[in-house]
């Protein structure tokens, strides 16, 4: 894309929004922040869809009970809840709620909203809450500022704490009660308690959020307005930053290949912090229904055929780490290094495939596989090309099948029409949140980023079940260390790399990346300096 096209696109954007033209350099309090957005989620309700694409916009509008923090106790900072305490038997957790909070439509926030959200949305509807809150049977509300969660089985407070930032977005009961929650118009024009109100969305062009003057945070928000400019072509984000048409691009919206060059542009900074609680993992998913792939020696051979250092250096340009297992290395609570690893070794891969009974035929091929790379990131697609070549080097003929997002999810997670697939699941601070589901058996068809490869291991399932009811944090961590050992030995899937994203911003944008989930937090203290 030429600079002229970028400028022309910007002129169209400013004309089409019919918004007042405000210079991009603003006073500390007030002003507009213009941000790149590379997608438009179909649903902006984070209580239903706990995903970063949704959080990126809606986290400024709809708040959770607590947010991740670099410095807070247990890595948390209060939001709608000011404290949380678990009972000794693990059957209840009491939340004290913030007083004086109002919804954007002026109605008061109360414990009734928390109870409604937990029982009617997080537990039955949310993609990840179904696991964390599966044993939640009631929420008592003795007063407007207290919510007591009651569980039918012992539930670790450690798990509930770790889930608070991502899984507890609170919805207004008066907007959703008695209506079809999944079809409520508020799902795409959310009403929250956050520092910004949802103002408008113009498809293909922008989302606009505006300051909520009655926000409970003293002196917040610092901005008057946030504009998410839709730029699906990531190459356009770098040009827009240089032309000062946008001020910030998060989630690696600027391609990795452009980072070295753009980091040298005066007035622009490249920031790697702010994604510590959003570690993405490059994973090879395996369909164990295939006879060849049901053999652990074949899975080990595939693992040995992958040069993780090459992947990190060439595909991620150094902005990643080789993975050692299913829990990422930057997790301070659960990570364990002492697991089986599979170094790059083509000779060993070939020997294992021979031992498994799949010798090379006259054409040099052993068997063929259907390989489906996830279409969400350039890196997952590029790794698909690399993996095809790596498998060819050991005699496995991989046919690449590239689909759009909807077709890929249907093929892998509903129809099981794949042999191996490439996925980018997110580690969210606790193995019970979006990690154990990758290897646990019995997950219903159609659940994205879950074990749809048909893998079943009774010992592994028992470990997962026991950890789900173990109250002592140290004992629970030990169980998950055993879990990591078993996953590494059995290879129900293959972890290749782990990475955080990159934020690129004009240096006038302040208070960027100051918590471990910054891109999906509320930005109440972010401002643009004069």
Percent of the chain with pLDDT over 90: 87
What token pair was written down for 368? 């063929």
Question: 194-276+502-529 belongs to which homologous superfamily?
Answer: Periplasmic binding protein-like II (3.40.190.10)
How far CA 95 is from CA of 59, 166, 170, in Å, comes to 21, 17, 13
Q: Summarize pLDDT for 162-191 with one digit per residue, the tens.
A: 999 999 999 999 999 999 999 999 999 999
State the Cα–Cα distance between residues 126 and 122, nearest whole angstrom.
5
pLDDT-based confidence at residue 234 (cuts at 50, 70, 90): confident
Residue partners of 438: CB distance under 8 A and separation at least 6: 283, 285, 326, 425, 449, 450, 451, 492, 493
Domain range annotation of the chain: 63-174, 194-276+502-529, 279-499
User: 372, 412 in Cβ contact below 8 A?
Assistant: yes
State the Cα–Cα distance between residues 403 and 245, nearest whole angstrom.
32
When the pLDDT of each residue in the chain is averaged and rounded to a whole number, the result is: 92
- For residue 74, what is the DSSP state? G
pLDDT at residue 366 tops 80? yes
Q: Which of 14-18, 55-59, 351-355, 495-499 has the lowest mean pLDDT?
A: 14-18
**CATH code that applies to domain 279-499:** 3.10.105.10
Return the ∠ at Cα 181 (arms to 178 and 182), rounded to 5°: 150
What token pair was written down for 414? 């509903």
Average pLDDT over every residue of 45-74: 95
What token pair was written down for 149? 């969660």
Q: Summarize pLDDT for 187-231 with one digit per residue, the tens.
A: 999 999 999 999 999 999 999 999 999 999 999 999 999 999 999
Q: Summarize pLDDT for 468-525 with one digit per residue, the tens.
A: 999 999 999 999 999 999 999 999 999 999 999 999 999 999 999 999 999 999 999 9
Q: Which of 223, 163, 241 is nearest to 435 (CA)?
A: 163
State the Cα–Cα distance between residues 98 and 514, nearest whole angstrom.
23
> Is it true that the peptide bond before 439 is cis, omega within 30 degrees of 0?
no
**CATH code that applies to domain 63-174:** 3.90.76.10
SS3 437: helix
Q: State the pLDDT at residue 377.
A: 86
User: Strand pairing of 367-373 and 136-143?
Assistant: unpaired
Entry pTM: 0.87
Residue partners of 184: CB distance under 8 A and separation at least 6: 45, 175, 176
Q: Which of 257, 302, 251, 243 is nearest to 274 (CA)?
A: 251
Q: Which of 109-113, 250-254, 368-372 has the lowest mean pLDDT?
A: 250-254
What token pair was written down for 430? 């606790």
Q: State the pLDDT at residue 29.
A: 65
Q: How many CB atoms lie within 10 A of CB 390?
A: 22
Q: State the pLDDT at residue 13.
A: 42
Q: State the pLDDT at residue 447.
A: 84
The CA dihedral of 307, 309, 311, 314, to the nearest 10 degrees, is -130
SS3 373: strand
């Amino acid at each position: 894309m030429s600079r002229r096209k970028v400028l022309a696109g910007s002129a169209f954007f400013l004309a089409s929004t019919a918004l007042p033209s405000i210079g991009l350099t603003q006073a500390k309090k007030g002003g507009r922040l213009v941000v790149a957005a590379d997608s438009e989620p179909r649903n902006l309700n984070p209580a239903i869809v706990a995903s970063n694409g949704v959080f990126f916009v809606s986290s400024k509008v709809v708040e959770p009970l607590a947010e991740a923090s670099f410095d807070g106790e247990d890595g948390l900072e209060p939001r709608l809840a000011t404290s949380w305490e678990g009972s000794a038997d693990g059957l209840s957790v009491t939340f004290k709620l913030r007083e004086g909070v109002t919804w954007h439509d002026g109605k008061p926030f109360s414990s009734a909203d928390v109870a409604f959200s937990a029982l009617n949305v997080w537990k039955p509807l949310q993609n990840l809450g179904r696991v964390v809150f599966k044993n939640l049977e009631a929420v008592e509300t003795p007063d407007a500022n207290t919510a007591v969660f009651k569980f039918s089985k012992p539930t670790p407070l450690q798990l509930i704490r770790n889930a608070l930032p991502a899984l507890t977005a609170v919805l207004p009961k008066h907007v959703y009660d008695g209506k079809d929650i999944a079809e409520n118009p508020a799902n795409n024009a959310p009403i929250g308690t956050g520092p910004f109100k949802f103002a408008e969305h113009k498809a293909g062009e922008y989302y606009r959020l505006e300051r909520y003057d009655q926000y409970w945070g003293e002196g917040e928000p610092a901005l008057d307005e946030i504009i998410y400019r839709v730029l699906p072509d990531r190459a356009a984000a770098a040009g827009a930053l240089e032309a000062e048409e946008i001020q910030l691009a998060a989630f690696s919206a600027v391609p990795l290949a452009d980072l070295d060059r753009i980091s040298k542009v005066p007035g622009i900074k490249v920031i790697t912090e702010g994604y510590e609680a959003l570690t993405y993992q490059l994973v090879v998913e395996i369909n164990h229904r295939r006879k060849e792939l049901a053999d652990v020696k074949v899975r080990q051979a595939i693992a040995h055929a992958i040069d993780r250092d090459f992947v990190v250096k060439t595909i991620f340009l150094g902005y990643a780490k080789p993975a050692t297992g299913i829990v990422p290395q930057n997790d301070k609570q659960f990570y364990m290094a002492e697991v089986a690893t599979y170094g790059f070794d083509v000779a060993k891969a070939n020997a294992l495939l021979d031992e498994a009974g799949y010798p090379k035929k006259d054409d040099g091929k052993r068997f063929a596989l259907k390989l489906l790379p996830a279409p969400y990131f350039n890196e997952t697609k590029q790794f698909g090309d690399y993996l095809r070549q790596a498998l060819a080097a050991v005699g496995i003929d991989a046919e690449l099948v590239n689909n759009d997002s909807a077709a890929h999810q249907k093929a892998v997670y509903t129809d099981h029409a794949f042999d191996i697939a490439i996925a980018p699941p997110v580690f969210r601070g606790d193995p019970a949140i979006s990690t154990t589901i990758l290897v646990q058996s019995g997950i219903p068809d159609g659940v994205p980023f879950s074990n749809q490869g048909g893998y079943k291991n009774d010992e592994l399932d028992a470990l997962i079940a026991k950890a789900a009811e173990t109250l002592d944090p140290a004992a629970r961590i030990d169980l998950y260390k055993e879990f990591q050992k078993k996953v590494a030995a059995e290879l129900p899937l293959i972890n290749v790399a782990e990475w955080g994203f990159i934020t690129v911003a004009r240096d006038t944008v302040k208070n960027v990346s100051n918590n471990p989930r910054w891109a999906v937090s509320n930005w109440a203290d972010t401002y643009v300096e004069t």
